[in-house]
Chain A
Amino acid sequence: MCRRRRSNSARWKYDAYHDSIITAGNGGTKPVRAAFTIFYNQGTQSYDLEQTLQPDEQMWIDVGQLIREHVPDKNGKTLPADLTTGSYEFRDLTNTGVGALFEGKVVYDKSYGHVAYGCAACCGWSIPVGFWYDPLGIPVDNETDQGVFAADQCNSGDLEDVSDSFYNNWSTGNTSIATVDSYGTHSGVSVGSTRSFTHGLLNNNNPIRYCPLTGFEPSGGDCVIQLMLQGNQYNSLFVGSDPNLAAANSIFATVSPSGGTFTTTSSASGDTFTPVTTGGPGWVVGTTTQSANLRDRTITVTYAVSGQGSVSQSLSVTARQFAYATNNTPSNTCTLGYGTAYLYAYTPYTHPDGTAVQAGIGLTNTAVTESFNPQPPAGTVTGSGSLDANSQFYDKLVYCSSSPLSSYPTVTQTISIEGYQVRQNSLTYSSAGVGLTSNGPTQ
């Protein structure tokens, strides 16, 4: 029997003269989940079985029986009836670094009763055994995962995760700067530097010595860095290119220590980041695409300090597009004798949230444009407006004179913010003045 973590070189045979019986047992003290895989067709295809083994329990695999009886694997797949040879692998799914499985194999010659015993090569772990990140950047008041890798002798020495063999042994040098839990998850307490330590056992790759357990004590630096992001209080961006959107679309960073470099990304391709002109570090996020769902846009800022690692923070925001507007019902203020004068106050709403644009969000002066078809009557002045500090806009509709008025055809008024149509009105001019009928949209 070979105590082993896994095998990638064991062979089996099955034909009219040979059969292979493969077994694996749980040599540990706790139940393990064992995975058995048969590779065939030059390793391009696999057949997978899984079974939970109690301590001292064994599983027996008769490869010939699997082929003959078309036994389906866990995915419903069966082995080809003409299959004669291949390789196999056991894996301990419960324990990564130190395996509890032992396995054995008998290939016997059915003609002459000859039996060959074998087991797979033992391939364990070797140095380098170290931390995923050294130094590890940890945000203040936030968490970052740390783990351990080791060279995998089953896989050309590639570095692979063996963190579970180092659980429950973690510590940091200064808990007023950083703490760590049993699983290597670090928490930043205050800005500063310290070190982390852990220890664990891994099988090494010495088959002569039955893959003995070897102790490792990796350690590495921790740098707790402050990175706080602050966007507008409604977690939103506005779609468009008007420079007056800059305030509402600004995101500011507060960092310590200073002097690092920033990297900014958005989950939406095409979003842009322009440094703010005052109050930085910060960026004006430009976007031309609306969110599909609330807060589905992730803005991520990574802050790297030379020699101290990097930390990242994200903001989940909604990219809002102007969609429709509601208006008040003003009274007639014409005092010249004939006609009407109304000052409409419009409140814009956005998609996808369907909420009114909040006062004070920083959209002052954002352009509101209007177009008319046909043009209003001669003498009427048309003009565009803009959003005020309350994120509303006003629209004067006046046809008021000291002399009697004439009648004109109805005019269609189209109002847009940032190029997005938010309202269409019918303006009816008559000798009594001008009236407004909304054609929506209303949602």
Chain B
Amino acid sequence: MTQTENYLKLAVLLLALLLTVTWVGGVGAQQTGSGLGQGAKFLEAKIPEFEIHNQVLLDGLWKLARGPAPFGFGFEKVLKGSLSDPDVPDPLLSLQLKDKSVREVLDALCQADSRYTWSVDGTTVDLFPRAVINDASYLLNRQLARFELRNATDVQNGLLAIVRQLPPPVEQIAQAQVGGDDRYPPEPWTVTFENLTVRQVVNRLAAHGGRCTAWIFGGARDFRAFGFFNTFVCSPPPPLPSWAPKRVEPPPKSP
């Protein structure tokens, strides 16, 4: 192989890498490239069986995210116009899938409730209404050129920082939830992010509470609220109870 050919191959490789890294903001099974850990290998993990019966999309997402290939997610409900408006009805879905990848199950869920699409941001899957994809004024699509967080010990510290660091107009933001656990590690957290959407920042705020944390955004245009749910599903379980006897394996028999 000549040196010219080597250079040519290297150039093609670099170009491919550059294209991958600069692919931002797409929908469907596309990575944002902004990075949360190890990327999206979990999307290819096979789910032996996935079934929902007359359940809403969020139920299906919880079930998938707590299944054999667990992951964290953000789910954005279709917002009502006003809090006093009647609730937006969610269609009931029934799915029966076998030996599909996480990616294929997510596709099937968003096909079943076609109001939604999904993307992946590092190890967090985001499901959001298709209707907001191109809405630059939608809170979670807004861009933060620079986001600074100092000594955060609670996810609300991050939410407040978003409100304060977004350019005008001033956004209303709330946390409203019952149930679950949103604790942060006790050590104060100081971090800076650049060129992220609010959605991507919220992914990171949630992930600081633990791997596989879920966040849900809902309410109405005049009252938007988050809920955060740390889960232990991504923590490897202890291999054995503490009282299990310590087995000593016999040495292998010599041939």
Contacts and interface: CB of A to CB of B under 8 A. Distances in A.
Whether A associates with B in a native complex is yes
Interface of A: 228, 230-233, 247-248, 250, 252, 254, 278-279, 282, 333-336, 339, 341, 343, 360, 362, 364-365, 370, 372, 376-386, 388, 393-403, 406, 411, 413, 427
Given A380-B227, A383-B227, A279 B180 contact: no
Contacts of B30: none
Interface string B218-244: 111001111111011100011111111
B233 A341 contact: no
Nearest to A233: B243
B253 to A, nearest CB: 15
A250 B241 contact: yes
Nearest to B224: A379
Given A335-B156, A335-B157, A380 B177 contact: yes
Contact of A279 (B80, B183, B218, B247): B247
A231 B225 contact: no
Given A379-B218, A385-B179, 17 more contacts: A228-B245, A230-B245, A278-B240, A335-B157, A362-B238, A370-B178, A372-B178, A377-B83, A378-B218, A378-B219, A382-B177, A383-B178, A385-B180, A386-B231, A394-B181, A398-B176, A403-B172
Nearest to B247: A279
Contact of A402 (B174, B181, B219, B227): B174
Contacts of A403: 172, 174, 223
B154 interface: yes
Nearest to A249: B241
A378 B223 contact: yes
A401 B216 CA distance: 15
Given A378-B83, A380-B178, A399-B176, A279 B242 contact: no
Nearest to B214: A383
A411 B176 CA distance: 14
Contacts of A384: 179-180
A100 B228 CA distance: 86
B245 A395 contact: no
9 contacts: A250-B244, A377-B83, A385-B229, A393-B181, A394-B181, A396-B179, A398-B177, A400-B174, A401-B172
B160 A402 contact: yes
A381 B225 contact: yes
B237 A365 contact: yes
A236 B247 CA distance: 23
Interface of B: 80, 83, 87, 154, 156-157, 159-160, 163, 171-183, 214, 216, 218-220, 223-229, 231-233, 237-245, 247
Nearest to A280: B247
B156 A383 contact: no
B226 A381 contact: yes
Contacts of B163: 336, 402
Contact of B175 (A230, A248, A336, A427): A336
A384 to B, nearest CB: 6
Contacts of B219: 378-379
Given A370-B179, A394-B180, A396-B179, A336 B244 contact: no
A406 B222 CA distance: 12
What are the nearest 9 A-B pairs in CB distance? A381-B227, A379-B219, A401-B174, A394-B181, A379-B225, A383-B180, A380-B176, A279-B244, A279-B240
Nearest to A380: B176
Contacts of A339: 174
Contacts of A335: 154, 156-157, 160
A265 B103 CA distance: 45
Contacts of A379: 83, 174, 176, 218-220, 223-225
A395 B183 CA distance: 10
A343 B244 CA distance: 34
Contacts of B160: 335-336, 402
Contacts of A393: 181
Nearest to B215: A381
A352 to B, nearest CB: 22
Contacts of A395: 178-181
A245 to B, nearest CB: 11
Contacts of A341: 156, 175
B180 A378 contact: no
Given A370-B178, A380-B225, A362 B241 contact: yes
Contacts of A279: 239-240, 244-245, 247
B7 to A, nearest CB: 52
Nearest to B237: A364
A232 to B, nearest CB: 6
B177 A247 contact: no
Contact of A401 (B180, B223, B229): B223
A396 B225 CA distance: 14
Contacts of A411: 178
A335 B83 CA distance: 22
B239 to A, nearest CB: 6
Nearest to B242: A360
A63 to B, nearest CB: 67
B174 A381 contact: no
Nearest to B182: A396
Contacts of B228: 396
Contacts of B220: 378-379
A364 B173 contact: no
Considering residues B163, B171, B232, which has the most beta carbons from chain A within 10 angstroms of its beta carbon?
B232
